[in-house]
Amino acid sequence: MSLVPQDSFDVFMPLRDAMNRLFEESVIGPRVELFTGRTFPIDVYEAQDKQHYVIEAALPGLKPEDVQITVMNDILTIRVTKKSEEKVEKGNYIRQERYEGEMSRSITLPTTIDADKVQATYEHGVLTIHIPRADTAKPKQISISAKEVAGTR
C-alpha cells in the first residue's frame, strides 16, 4: 500500500473546489453576468434517491441544437450559442438586455459521475440534465458477520 496518492495533485482538489465556490459566490462571479445577460441561471441539486444529480438551466428562446453539453471528469459544461435574429431596422436602442453570442457555464460536481449515462431534455425553455453518480461514488452498505468464540455460549 502506497502512502503517496496516485495523483499527487488530488490533495489540492478540495482547495480548488473551495476556490471555485468562493469565486461563484462572489460579486464578480456569475451573478454579475446574470444581470448583464451574458450567462444563464442554473439550479444544481442532488436527487432524492441520492443516486444522481440534476441541473436545470433556464434557456428561453433557444433550440436544442443551440446547446452543447460536455463532461470531463467531474465537470459538466453547458455551452450556448445564441444566434442573432435577422437584422431588422429597429431604430436606436434605448435599452438592449438580450445577449447574443456564446455563453457557457461549468459545474464541478461533488462526486465522480457516469458520463455515459448523462441524459438531457429541453422543454418550455428549461434544459434539464440528469447526471448519474458513478458506481464507485455510491455508498455501499457492508454487512458484518459475527463469529462465535470457542467455549462461549
pLDDT for residue 46: 94
The string of pLDDT tens digits covering residues 15-69 is 777 776 666 655 444 454 554 457 889 999 999 998 999 999 999 989 999 999 9
Domains of the chain: 40-136 (2.60.40.790)
Q: Which spans in the chain are helix H? A: 13-25, 30-36
Among 40, 54, 69, 65, smallest CA distance to 133 is for: 54
Q: Cβ(74)–Cβ(96) under 8 Å?
A: no
pLDDT cut 90: percent of the chain above it: 38
d(CA 8, CA 19): 19
Out of 3-12, 62-71, 144-153, least confident range: 3-12
Q: Are 103 and 39 in contact (CB under 8 A)?
A: yes
Asked if residue 99 has pLDDT above 90, the reply is no
